[in-house]
Chains A and B, each alone.
Chain A
Amino acid sequence: EVQLQESGPSLVKPSQTLSLTCSVTGDSITSGYWNWIRKFPGNKLEYMGYISYSGSTYYNPSLKSRISITRDTSKNQYYLQLNSVTTEDTATYYCASYYYGSSWFAYWGQGTLVTVSA
């Protein structure tokens, strides 16, 4: 069974960098697409981007200047960095995956709440 688990700081100060890790078991991140999605207070979901099986990336243009998604295939982990955060980046961050040829998120992590506050 594919399982994803987010980890990282729960509190980040404004203007700093938000960094999260998604640890994957049950599948290799060298197959499929590995994504980040966030849910704001009030329930709005925003798609942030992916890193693919080949290492290529896509970022939501709304975030393009601030976001980076990278990976470590030896650890079967991938990462999110979001620079210059503000209080509006306070959200629950999810990692999720879909397979090549589909664009439905079949597997999700449980989510991690990140609060941006001084």
Chain B
Amino acid sequence: DIQMTQTTSSLSASLGDRVTISCSASQGISNYLNWYQQKPDGTVKLLIYYTSSLHSGVPSRFSGSGSGTDYSLTISNLEPEDIATYYCQQYSKLPLTFGAGTKLELK
């Protein structure tokens, strides 16, 4: 299985900050990388697919980048509703696998 590593398990930031969350794969995944947001109530939403494509309805302050084994999600101007846990997920090979999540908290 491809292992997805999110080395930062939690991150504190202030409203208005630019926040970057990182994810690395145990082998190259050819940009087959998605990002999800999980709110404290358990609701999960797709944010970014195929590394950098913004899902419908997702605010433009979210962006994704990366290649090879290293990928990142950036929130350009942190809003209160962005407080959540963020997961990366690869779809280069089955079984699909997720990172362990990065919990974003307010400083």
Give residues in A with beta carbon < 8 Å to B.
39, 43-47, 58, 60-62, 92, 94, 96, 102-106, 108, 110-111
Contact = CB atoms under 8 A, between A and B. Distances in A.
Q: Is the interface of A mostly helix, strand, loop or mixed?
A: loop
Nearest to B103: A43
B63 to A, nearest CB: 16
Q: Which of B44, B49, B101, B103 has the largest number of chain A CB atoms within 10 A?
A: B44
Contact of B94 (A44, A58, A106): A58
Contact of B101 (A43, A62, A104, A111): A43
Given A43-B100, A43-B101, A45-B87, A94 B44 contact: yes
Interface residues of B, number: 24
Interface string B3-41: 000000000000000000000000000001010101000
Contacts of B100: 43-44
Nearest to A92: B42
A103 B32 contact: yes
A94 B103 CA distance: 19
Contacts of A96: 44
